[in-house]
Amino acid sequence: MAINPIDRCWRCKKNWAKNRKRLAKCVLGFGHKTRGGKKGEYYLVTDNSDDDVVNPKLGTLRHAVIQKRPLWIIFAHDMNIKLSKELMVQSHKTIDARGENVHIAYGCGITLQFVHNVIIHNIHIHRVVRSSGGLISDSEDHYGYRTVGDGDGISIFGSSKIWLDHISMSESQDRLIDAIQGSTAITISNFHFTHHDHVILLGASDTYSKDQYMQVTLAFNHFGKELIQRMPRCRWGYFHVVNNDYTHWKLYAIGGSTHPTIISQGNRFIAPDDPLTKEITHRNYAPESEWRNWIWRSEGDRFMNGAFFVTSGPPSPPHLKLKKKDIIKAKPAIFVGRLTKFSGTLKCKEGVKC
């Protein structure tokens, strides 16, 4: 069975449940230094309630994520968790739902603000709504007032060393994933995205120049049914889009402003039937006199049903100080269907290869 190199690192092991922390060795791309809660104890979530966001109940997901110490968070059984306020996650955490069917839905989303070293793995996140704001705990010994939230599925704000993997996402009130305000060292892999308009935003604004240091890898994701645009929409930084399967979009797939560097390698792009939406790229935020200098590369991509990628920039990208582990080596685009076959959440059972 052909699987991608991230999955191959752990999924073929029958004893994955006895050695869950092996997962932390498997991240590739710009988030490759992320270890989550590998150095911490296991925390078993037994209660799906979220009634008290200031003094969370022991055994709830909220109580687990606000602890200051490293933790590897797992779940006792299948759960549907309706977050009453945004979930503020502390540094050095792994949320690992393998083996159980865990949904975060019909409530607020997950916020990673000024934290680092976080892994979120194998969770369904859908139908996320705006947070009403108010008092919320962001650590075990601190709570503060939060303004009204946008309704993002996962919001990454001023954070680094983040790995999001094998998540099924759809239907948030705002974006599915938002990474802004100087966030960097992020890998987004093995997602299955469906049923949404503004899918991924990477970069806060055209005036926030600190996002020039942003580095994000998108690998082995399936952009599926009823998606419209922003897969992703980028500003300022360096974005490696590798071996993803784009089977649906209604406006465009990859967009950007403020001279982002976008390297697209080994992806499959299947254009919609509408003749006006065949172009993968979108730079309508700037005149051609400006965007023709941006470095947007397509290397080894596969274009189907009339899809086309408009490249730009100098013939050879300038020298960038990237380490070998920062860049996932692209497989031929013809294999993308196999590389993304198991995107989204996995149905894992103990004692069996996942």
Give the pLDDT of residue 149. 87
pLDDT of residue 204: 85
- Take residue 112 and report the two structure tokens written for it: 């990673």
125 and 168 in contact (C-beta within 8 Å)? Answer: yes
Phi, psi for residue 156 in degrees, rounded to 5: -115, 115
Confidence of residue 317 (pLDDT cuts 50, 70, 90): low
Q: What is the pLDDT of residue 285?
A: 86
Print burial letters for 295-312: b (CB count within 10 Å at least 16), e (below 16). Answer: bbbbeebbbeeebebeeb
Q: How many other C-beta atoms can be found within 10 angstroms of the C-beta atom of residue 152?
A: 27
Give yes or no for residue 322 having a pLDDT over 90: no
The pLDDT of 230-250, averaged and rounded, is 97
What value does the mean pLDDT take over residues 45-71? 98
Nearest alpha-carbon partner for 185 in 163, 210, 202: 163
Q: Is the pLDDT of residue 319 over 70?
A: no
From 5, 2, 16, select the one nearest 347 (Cα to Cα).
16
**What mean pLDDT do residues 114-121 have?**
98
Say whether the peptide bond before residue 232 is cis (omega within 30 degrees of 0). yes
Q: Please write the tens of the pLDDT for every residue from 197-232.
A: 999 999 988 999 999 999 999 999 999 999 999 999
Q: How confident is the model over 270-283, as a mean pLDDT?
A: 97
| 325 — pLDDT class (breaks 50, 70, 90) | confident
The arithmetic mean of pLDDT across residues 252-261, rounded, is: 96
pLDDT of res. 3:
86
pLDDT range class, residue 320, cuts 50, 70, 90: low
Cα–Cα distance between 186 and 120 in angstroms, integer? 12
Q: What is the mean pLDDT of the chain?
A: 95
DSSP label at residue 129: -
The proportion of the chain whose per-residue pLDDT surpasses 70, expressed as a percent, equals 98
Instruction: Please tell me whether residue 45 adopts helix, strand or coil conformation.
Output: strand
The residue-averaged pLDDT of 257-276 equals 96
Cβ partners under 8 Å of residue 289, min gap 6: none
The class that CATH gives domain 190-344 is mainly beta
**pLDDT tens-digit map of 288-313:** 999 999 999 999 999 999 999 999 99
Residue 213, CB-side half-sphere exposure with 13 Å CA sphere: 9
Query: Mind listing the pLDDT tens digit for each residue in 154-203?
Result: 999 999 999 999 999 999 999 999 999 999 999 999 999 999 999 999 99
**pLDDT reading at 147 higher than 70:** yes
Please check the confidence at residue 239 and state whether its pLDDT lies above 70.
Answer: yes
Of 125, 127, 121, 124, nearest to 101 by C-alpha is: 124
d(CA 268, CA 297): 14
Assess contact for 148 and 132: CB atoms under 8 A: yes
Average pLDDT over residues 10-21: 94
The catalytic residue positions are 230
Q: What is the pLDDT of residue 9?
A: 94
Report DSSP letters for 253-289, one per residue: SEEEESS-EEEEES-EEE--S-GGG-B-EE-TTS-HH
Single out the residue of 289, 231, 224, 219 nearest to residue 256, CA to CA: 231
Q: What is the pLDDT confidence band of residue 315, given thresholds at 50, 70 and 90? A: confident
Q: What is the pTM of this model?
A: 0.97
pLDDT of residue 333 exceeding 70: yes
For range 283-291, the mean pLDDT: 93
SS3 187: strand
pLDDT for res 2: 57
pLDDT at 266: 97
Would you state the structure tokens that stand for residue 321, as one six-digit string?
């100080």
Look-up of token digits 């190199």: 5
Ordered by start, the domain boundaries in the chain are 190-344
